[in-house]
């Protein structure tokens, strides 16, 4: 666990930098570089104390030693010049191992204020090199400030979700472990800790032999397309005891160099976003696609060993989108890739970074050959509220879900077991019967319970549905805006191939602004459709909100009769109706 004093020091470093370095990622990079700089100097000092020699700050680099930087008589501008020069030249220091040279590659000081640097280095000076879990946990906390979603669609996976996935897959000490989109190496660190805990008698990891530890570190590897993420993951692994971490800067989707490498365990939360025009992958994927989420899942399925296991976070497009690539991927997962479970997570798990609805696919190629069913698990409470603050709440269901998954994985499992409210098993044959291979678990639960298909209803049934328009107050009236009422605009409905989930909005309006427009507050779990210039973007709002004039909002009057997820999916088939809305036509409510 992170101790409060170390947390205070890290927060203090960020507070010092924030005026000159407002971007959280840049703050993390500056603290990372400074900590490694300080630790190298500490290791040199320890070596000299034990009768050895300096390794890092010797020869021409002796003048950059940490003690020179923080010497009492060092002037501010001299300190600024020396430190700035040191971090830019350190990647050329042949006395550094390759790992450290990689960390300093392209490093620079992004500000020129001596007093900021003096205060920052004074705080860094309070850290001492310690190859323990404590410092590793401190760095994990530092990485947790990386909140903003990246250009490639990355966002930090919450620690409790990472640990849940690792515990379900249960990696062993002799298995190879890979994350092909590793970010800051959170999954790899969690897997390492899991294996150590599983091999403990009295002291953490004491049942692991020296050979076991060497093999374990060698077996853990990751790739990331971002050099910044590679740098951070290298440091993270190093601080957790990996003297030679195996993290490569590598484009998993377009490079073929590592295509023939496989792993026993794959854990990942790959990027969901695709660039304009789509990904241009090489030709060795079994599914022909341009979407990043499809290609990453296909990659993971194809790179598992014949008895391998995987857990991967996916957006809802993977679960039910009807495009050919999505259907082909789901077919492969059912028939050849070893899918054994689908865990639905609540929208808001990734707040405040993203409100996207996600699920976890669990693959086990050995178990899939013995089990005809797929287990669908629906988690509605992961232990934290679904708002931006993500405060802890009672009633978490991850523990129960983990127990049910472990029960399902038992080789001696009896057919027809009752899984209760949280989970249910569905045969592969049932999932495949209409050719859609839909992974929405609730549709199979209802069919099984009622023993008949869903009934067809009309959108004109006013006992079930109500359609209201959005509205926009005058932009010239400042008092209409920023009033605290959530107000959805197009930025809250990104152009994606999956249905968005709205739990927070970028903009708000005031009570007066709401009154001075045609907008109405709509309840949560309504379906929102854009009907102006960008026709057909669809979202489910998980919180009450208002929408702008470019939207139509379908309110479900009787939630016991209609699933918002199914209604949203139905609207994806109604592009002509949406076009009629956009051109001033009427809403054809009959026959849906």
- Give the number of C-alpha atoms closer than 13 A to the C-alpha of residue 50, restricted to the C-beta side: 8
- CA dist 364 and 409 (Å) reads 9
Across 230-244, 396-410, 443-457, the highest mean pLDDT is recorded for 396-410
Across 46-60, 130-144, 195-209, the highest mean pLDDT is recorded for 195-209
User: pTM for the complete prediction?
Assistant: 0.67
Q: Which helix (H) or strand (E) holds 249?
A: strand 246-249
Looking at residue 399, its pLDDT comes to 93
- CA dist 2 and 352 (Å) reads 22
Q: Is residue 165 over pLDDT 90?
A: yes
Mean pLDDT of the chain: 83
Q: pLDDT tens across 551-587, in order?
A: 888 988 877 778 888 888 888 777 555 555 555 544 4
Q: Is residue 200 over pLDDT 90?
A: yes
Q: Which helix (H) or strand (E) holds 554?
A: strand 551-556
Q: pLDDT tens across 296-337, in order?
A: 999 999 999 999 999 999 988 888 887 889 999 999 999 999
Enumerate residues 6+ apart whose C-beta is below 8 A from 363: 300, 301, 304, 308, 309, 310, 311, 312, 333, 337, 338, 339, 340
Long-range contacts at 244-249 (CB < 8 A, ≥ 24 apart): 244/99, 244/217, 245/99, 245/185, 245/217, 245/220, 246/218, 246/220, 246/221, 246/222, 247/182, 247/185, 247/221, 247/222, 247/223, 248/221, 248/222, 248/223, 249/223, 249/224, 249/225
Residue 564 to residues 202, 501, 550, 557, Cα–Cα distance (Å): 51, 11, 20, 11
- CA dist 470 and 452 (Å) reads 37
Q: Is residue 452 over pLDDT 70?
A: no
Do 545 and 527 touch, CB atoms closer than 8 A?
no
> What is the average pLDDT across 285-304?
90
Strand order in the sheet with 546-547: 507-509, 481-488, 546-547
> What is the average pLDDT across 404-419?
78
Q: Is residue 531 over pLDDT 90?
A: no
Enumerate residues 6+ apart whose C-beta is below 8 A from 323: 497
Report residue 309 CA to chain centroid gap.
19
**More confident site: 239 or 300:** 300
User: In this prediction, what percent of the chain has a pLDDT beyond 70?
Assistant: 84
Look at the block and give the residue holding tokens 């050919």: 324
Across 47-61, 72-86, 118-132, 501-515, the highest mean pLDDT is recorded for 72-86
Domains and CATH numbers, the chain: 4-128 (1.20.1260.30), 146-450 (3.40.50.150), 465-582 (3.90.220.20)
Q: Which helix (H) or strand (E) holds 124?
A: helix 114-124
Q: Is residue 591 over pLDDT 50?
A: no
Q: How confident is the model at residue 136 (pLDDT cuts 50, 70, 90)?
A: low
The tokens for 411 are 């080789």
- CA dist 225 and 296 (Å) reads 13
Q: pLDDT tens across 258-273, in order?
A: 999 999 999 999 887 7
Enumerate residues 6+ apart whose C-beta is below 8 A from 219: 174, 175, 176, 177
Q: Is residue 220 over pLDDT 80?
A: yes
DSSP-derived 3-state class of residue 246:
strand
């Amino acid at each position: 666990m992170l101790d409060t004093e170390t947390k205070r020091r890290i927060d203090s470093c960020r507070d010092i930098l924030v005026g000159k370095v407002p971007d959280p990622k840049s703050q993390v990079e500056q603290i990372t570089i400074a900590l490694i700089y300080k630790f190298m100097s500490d290791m040199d000092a320890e070596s000299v104390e034990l009768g050895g020699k300096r390794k890092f700050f010797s020869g021409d680099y002796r003048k950059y030693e940490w003690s020179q930087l923080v010497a009492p008589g060092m002037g501010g501008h001299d300190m600024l010049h020396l430190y700035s020069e040191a971090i830019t030249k350190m990647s050329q220091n042949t006395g550094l191992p390759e790992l450290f040279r990689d960390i300093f590659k392209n490093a620079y000081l992004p500000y020129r204020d001596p007093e900021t640097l003096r205060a920052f280095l004074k705080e860094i000076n309070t850290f001492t090199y310690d190859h323990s879990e404590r410092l590793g946990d401190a760095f994990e906390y530092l990485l947790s400030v990386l909140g903003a979603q990246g250009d490639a669609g990355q966002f930090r996976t919450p620690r409790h979700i990472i640990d849940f996935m690792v515990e379900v897959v249960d990696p062993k000490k002799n298995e190879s472990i890979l994350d092909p989109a590793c970010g800051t190496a959170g999954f790899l660190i969690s897997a390492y800790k899991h294996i150590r805990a599983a091999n403990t008698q009295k002291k953490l990891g004491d049942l692991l032999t020296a050979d076991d530890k060497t093999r374990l570190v060698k077996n853990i590897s990751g790739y990331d397309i971002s050099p910044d993420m590679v740098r951070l993951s290298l440091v993270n692994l190093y601080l957790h005891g990996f003297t030679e971490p195996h993290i490569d800067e590598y484009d998993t989707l377009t490079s073929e160099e590592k295509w023939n490498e496989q792993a026993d365990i794959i854990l990942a939360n790959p990027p969901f976003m695709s660039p304009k025009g789509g990904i241009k992958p090489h030709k060795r994927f079994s599914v022909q696609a341009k979407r990043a989420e499809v290609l990453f899942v296909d990659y993971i399925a194809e790179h598992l060993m014949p008895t391998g296991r995987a857990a991967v976070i996916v957006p809802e497009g993977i679960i039910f989108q009807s495009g050919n690539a999505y259907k082909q991927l789901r077919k492969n997962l059912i028939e050849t890739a070893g899918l054994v479970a689908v865990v639905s997570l609540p929208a808001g798990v990734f707040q405040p970074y993203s409100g996207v609805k996600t699920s976890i696919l669990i693959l086990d190629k050995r178990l899939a050959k013995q089990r005809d069913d797929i287990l669908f698990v629906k988690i509605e409470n992961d232990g934290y509220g679904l708002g931006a603050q993500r405060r802890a709440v009672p009633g978490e269901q991850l523990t129960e879900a983990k127990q049910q998954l472990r029960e399902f994985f038992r080789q001696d499992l009896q057919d027809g077991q009752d899984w209760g409210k949280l989970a249910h098993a569905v045969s592969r044959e049932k999932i495949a019967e209409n050719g859609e291979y839909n992974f929405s678990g609730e549709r199979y639960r209802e069919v099984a319970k009622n023993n008949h298909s869903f009934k067809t209803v009309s959108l004109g049934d006013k006992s079930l549905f109500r359609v209201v328009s959005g509205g926009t107050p005058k932009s010239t009236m400042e008092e209409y805006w920023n009033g605290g009422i959530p107000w959805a605009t197009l930025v809250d409905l990104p152009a994606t191939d999956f249905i968005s989930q709205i739990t927070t909005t970028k903009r708000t309006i005031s009570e007066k602004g709401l009154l001075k427009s045609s907008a109405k507050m709509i309840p949560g779990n309504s379906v929102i459709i854009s009907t102006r210039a960008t026709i057909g973007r669809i979202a489910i709002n998980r919180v009450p909100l208002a929408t702008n004039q470019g939207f139509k909002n379908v309110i479900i009057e009787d939630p016991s009769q209609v699933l918002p997820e199914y209604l949203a999916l139905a609207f994806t088939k109604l592009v002509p109706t949406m076009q009629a809305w956009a051109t001033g036509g009427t809403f054809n409510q009959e026959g849906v």
